A and B are shown apart, each in its own frame.
Chain A
Amino acid sequence: MRYVRPDSLEDAIDLLAEASGKAAILAGGSDLLVRMKGGFIEPDLIIDIKGVDALRRVSENDEGFVIGSAVPCAVLGENAALRRAWPGVVEGATLIGSKQVQGRCTIVGNLCNASPAADSVPALVAAGAKALIRGPAGSRTIAVEMIPVGPGRTSLAPGEIIEAILLDKRRPHSGDAYQRFTPRTEMDIAVVSAAVNLTLDDQGVVEEARVALGAAAPTVLLVKEAADILIGSRVDISTLDRLAEACSSACRPIDDKRGTVEFRKKVAGVLAKRVALTAYQRAGQK
């Protein structure tokens, strides 16, 4: 086993592409080290990408935000501009694990771990976030929901690294929100979760909407029917009830140690209602 800490992204990609055995990328390590400890993975090469300065920055340009793949979630929570523009995304990112885990974990790691219960992913999906991918064949940009293809599996090709997550510049009257259900108040994994991202017109009517559910299917679900219910509404009670219904029936969850099918279906709807209301209020204030 080898540990390397390249200082450029190119070096990191070369190392990954040339690795003879199993290579693992280390950013926050909060998933990788747990899997290594449990004996589920024994990489021959660990590529620590935190030596690449560009990956450790959050920047804002004319198109929006660029979040480097090695930025710990705690840093996202401390970024006032990001919090203002994408409060739901930040909510998701800063709910992962504990303060201790927050200081390490990254949204890209959360995405690539490809757990259906990943806390930061539903809000990213609802936000229409994109992943900037670099690999031996060059770079490409795809929607984040295209990355996980099933529990623990991603669509990344061999040698590919996610360089950054891109979030659009916010239009006026926009708001997003994320909530998850956990039995404990902290230090827990989502039993089910929901994210809603809305843009209103000048009259306060929903013009654009995206609704995403976590831990409700093998990958995060983008529920178009639910979004369609919100579009054209002022998020009144009957809209919310229909939204809940649409979310509950879109779920394809499983029974496991964290929750039952019935519970997940029901609570997905409840959470969707609650986050839609929060997102609507946030959008109305801007």
Chain B
Amino acid sequence: MNFDPRHTTRSFSSVGTRPIRPDGIDKVTGRARYGADFNMPGQLVGRILRSPHAHAVIRRIDTSKAEQLPGVKAVVTAADLPDLTSGDAAMYDILDNCMARRKALYDGHAVAAVAAIDARTARQALKLIEVEYELLPHVTDVDQAFAADAPLINDTIITTGVDPKPDRASNVSMRSQFGHGDVDAGMAKADFVVERTFKTEQTHQGYIEPHACVANVSPDGTADLWVCTQGHFVYRQHCAQLLGMDASKLRVTSSEIGGGFGGKTHVWAEPVALALSRKAGRPVKLVMTRDEVFRATGPTSATSIDVKIGAMKDGTIIAADATLRYSCGPYAGSWAEVGAMTAFACYKLENVRTVGYEVLVNRPKTAAYRAPSAPMAAFAVESAIDELAGKVGMDAVDFRIKNAAQEGTKASYGPVYGPIGIGPTLEAVKNHPHMKAPLGKNQGRGMACGFWFNFGGQTCTDLNIGMDGTVSLAVGTVDVGGSRASLSLVAAEELGIDYAQVRAVIADTSSLGYNDMTDGSRGTFSSSMATISAARNAIKVLRARAAQMWDIPVEDVAWEKGHAVAKGETHGNLPNLSLKEIAAASGTTGGPIAGHSEIVADGAGVSFATHICDIEVDPETGATRVLRYTVVQDAGKAVHPTYVEGQYQGGAAQGIGWALNEEYIYGKDGRLQNAGFLDYRIPVCSDLPMIDTQILEIPNPNHPYGVRGVGETSIVPPLAAVANAVSNAVGVRMQHIPMSPPRILAALET
């Protein structure tokens, strides 16, 4: 669906307003039901036993004592989840991650699970399960795992993307390369070169709601799953495949979701809960503890990135080179590949090369986190760009404007850009009052750009018009932060009715066609596209019904502002029929009125943002305080501007946390030391200032209203913006994130 140029000048009536979200009341009164807020009659409590070892062969599991404990109804191990993945390597990894098969691959890896009549019996049962481990050497650091003599995590991993193919296994599952031109020749010509190595530590999405589900497998093989997820259709596919069920027999209902940010795009406990329920013959509720969430789910890659950029005296970047090593947990991944694609995407470069290495480590399987892999690459590149601007003698913003990609630029990852928003965000930042505000002692200002692809994907929507003329909108993309409001606005806009007449719900997997999950900033982008299409289909029906009521040809009926309007000289005097009137008559004009839409919402359009950060550093302790923060980002068209601002602010806050304090800390024993919110320090309210936002609207040519995804890009610039601010405040280039006080103090003293 292409952008309708009418909309550039059109004044929207619903889209762009800021009504209260339909699910809001339930959320402020405590009535909204999240993953753990659902119960079933006869429900058991499920609990998972996890490996305390980073790397160990599982010699033997004896569950007999646990099984004999009164109140225990089922115990499962990998033996209860046989391999049904038929050679699908990615699914096999998911299966192995849900329940360790031959080896425990990280501290927190599931090895067995129980279902019991209550939580205390389940906890007791876990203690009775005997697991005999044979410890193996482990490696948790990305650089150590990359080294040739590192302990081998998976002896079947042969690096792909290398010619000739290596003859022995390593911890590097893939090498990938992007770029164009002649980097070495370009670099040789450069007047100024910056070359540095950067490191970022592993973070977690940190959603406040732990993973939770209720699984109910009936003796006839049908099943229900209530779960907090970003994609219930995807969970259905995965669970059905892993358990050998027909997808249609597994009905998955997505609960309200208490945050996901990419971390609820993967199954972990759900197949285990289903296996327990199948074995026990009763519903099983499985809720992770916070400790389990940190030890077993989610984390991002830890990275180590070499960057080299050369510029000419006039400020033109002549060559750019980066080597990126990303940890992907104990399984093959493609995280460095994404980092390699995004690293230089903001710039117009004649000679560019990026090489990514996927590195296996004894840490939890890496999962997506908001624009996955892009923030780390942006940190390295935008830090080097800032330093290079200084060497050239140019202002950091001007230097970026001079080198910014534009329409027609060949992107560093390959294709040529269409209309894009990096230039406008930089111009907006250049003119922003924030850039001109004075700074005090020990204070620094940093800015940085960020890029993210954005995705669309498979989307299905039903729009049903009731006999009273109100509209039920059933969508299949989980609402992670206000999309039911946005999609109701879009339906109201297209039909020409009030927002209050539309109610959007998230349908379960048995009530709607397949939907990809809410990821890749696609929720509002794709479902609004499908909603528009469904509404247009409904309008066709409404016109036909009005034609019947008037007894005139349907070609003579137009749809304007929520009304059927008769056109033509012969019946132009007929009074308009409202949607409500047509709906009321629907019983006798052919029955229910609805519009359906099944689409692939491709063409999401790439997204850019530029952020500004002011920070104060205490030079005696390395303590930092963010004083002011501004986000400028292109939204294409902001459907519900308040929630667009919310996405900008939330991404910025997560990025600030990542930049300053959040990190996984492993001991020498390979165990995670800070699996809780006390020592995994996400920002608290008093850590942050207000976060100013500026929404730019450069229409996406592939969406009828010009909408772009807005969810993810806001986490890309902050690591670099904060690092540049700290570096400017202390006069030392920061190369290791998070910039925790001990790291800042150490940098100051070298």
Contacts and interface: CB of A to CB of B under 8 A. Distances in A.
Interface of A: 38-39, 181, 183-189, 191, 256-260, 262-263, 266-267, 270-271
A187 B661 CA distance: 13
Interface in B429-447: none
A263 B741 contact: yes
A185 B625 CA distance: 9
Contacts of A262: 742, 745-746
B665 interface: yes
Contact of B665 (A39, A186, A189, A257): A257
B621 A183 contact: no
A204 B566 CA distance: 95
A122 B123 CA distance: 38
A270 B620 contact: yes
Contacts of A257: 665, 673-674, 679
Given A39-B123, A257-B665, A258-B679, A186 B684 contact: yes
Interface of B: 123, 291, 620-623, 625, 660-661, 665, 673-674, 678-679, 681, 683-687, 740-742, 745-746
A181 B678 contact: no
10 contacts: A183-B623, A183-B660, A183-B661, A186-B687, A187-B678, A189-B679, A259-B742, A260-B746, A263-B741, A263-B742
Most buried by B among A183, A184, A187, A262: A183
A266 B745 contact: yes
Contacts of A187: 678, 684
B748 to A, nearest CB: 10
Contacts of B620: 267, 270
Contacts of A183: 623, 660-661, 681, 740-741
B673 A189 contact: no
B123 A184 contact: no
Contacts of A189: 678-679
Given A257-B679, A263-B741, A263-B745, A186 B623 contact: no
B291 A184 contact: no
A186 B688 CA distance: 11
B742 A38 contact: no
A258 B680 CA distance: 10
A186 B661 CA distance: 13
Given A181-B621, A185-B687, 7 more contacts: A181-B741, A186-B685, A188-B678, A191-B741, A259-B742, A260-B746, A263-B745
Contacts of B742: 259-260, 262-263
A188 B621 CA distance: 16
B400 to A, nearest CB: 30
Contacts of B621: 181, 267, 270-271
Nearest to A259: B742
Contacts of B684: 184-187
B681 A188 contact: yes
Contacts of B661: 183-184
Nearest to B740: A183
Nearest to A266: B745
Most buried by A among B679, B683, B687, B742: B742
B683 A38 contact: no
A257 B681 CA distance: 11
A38 B290 CA distance: 11
Contact of A38 (B291, B665, B686, B741): B291
Nearest to A258: B679
A38 B289 CA distance: 10
Nearest to A37: B289
Nearest to B123: A39
Contacts of A256: 673
Nearest to B677: A187
A184 B687 CA distance: 6
A275 to B, nearest CB: 13
Contacts of B678: 187-189
Nearest to A98: B684
Nearest to A263: B742
Contacts of B740: 183
A267 B623 CA distance: 10
Given A257-B665, A267-B621, A185 B686 contact: yes
Nearest to B683: A184
A94 to B, nearest CB: 14
A188 B680 CA distance: 10
Contacts of A186: 684-687
Contacts of A258: 679
A38 B621 CA distance: 33
A203 B715 CA distance: 57
List the 10 closest A-B pairs by CB distance, nearest first. Answer: A263-B742, A185-B686, A257-B665, A257-B673, A270-B620, A183-B661, A260-B742, A257-B674, A187-B684, A186-B686
Contacts of B660: 183
A188 B623 CA distance: 14
A262 B621 CA distance: 11
Nearest to B686: A185
Contacts of B665: 257
Contacts of B685: 186
Contacts of B623: 181, 183
A38 B684 CA distance: 24
A260 B742 CA distance: 7
Contacts of B674: 257
